[in-house]
Amino acid sequence: MKTREIIVPRDLIKKFYPHPESYGDGDYVVDLINDMYTDVFYREEGDFITVTNNKALISYLQKNQLKSREYFFRNGVYSLRHVKDCDSLLIQYWIKRSPITIQLEMPIEHNLPSEFMLCFYWIEVGKATLQDNKMTLDVYEKDLIRMIDIGVSIDLIIEQINK
């Protein structure tokens, strides 16, 4: 049977896992919200693709092509977005895990919201909260982002503040 490349919208993905075979950066296995699973590959446009011949999966994805999420900052594979209602289940799941926590002093005046999601390859890996002049970044998806990438994302957040 012939395989087909099809978009897997971010909003249909419930959980990400590192891909068991390394094809490069941005490749994962995912659970979809309908309990199907597939492997996906990062696309710069704001979503993922899968290459499959599974008719049920193709039909489901074709019927559920949702628009991409909105981000208020993006630099390469790093992006920031406002916390939305769709994040409540993920945040509840995260509460049970211990994060990597980083605290930064912030200038009194900055252009960041009081809370936002840190995304790496369009995947929510952590949440930042700002209170007074301190930002607390909690990174929960430690198996999906390396320490060096967390460092780069912090540098980009600081760069965004200084604009």
Contact (CB, 8 A) for 94 and 142: no
The yes-or-no verdict on residue 94 having pLDDT over 70 is yes
What token pair was written down for 37?
A: 């699973």
Dihedral sign (CA 14, 127, 99, 44)? positive
Q: Is the pLDDT of residue 48 over 80?
A: yes
CA-based nearest residue to 8, from 22, 19, 29, 142: 29
In angstroms, the CA 117 to CA 91 distance is 10
State pLDDT tens for residues 113-125. 999 999 999 999 9
Average pLDDT of the residues in 152-161: 86
What pLDDT score does 25 carry?
63
Bridge partners (DSSP) of residue 137 are: 102, 128
Give the pLDDT score at 32: 95
Contact between 122 and 10 (Cβ < 8 Å) = yes
Beta-bridge partners for 6: 50
Res 1: pLDDT: 67
Give the global pTM: 0.86
How many Cα neighbours within 13 Å face the side chain of 25? 12
Pick the more confident residue, 127 or 109. Answer: 127
9-23: per-residue pLDDT in tens?
Answer: 888 999 999 887 766
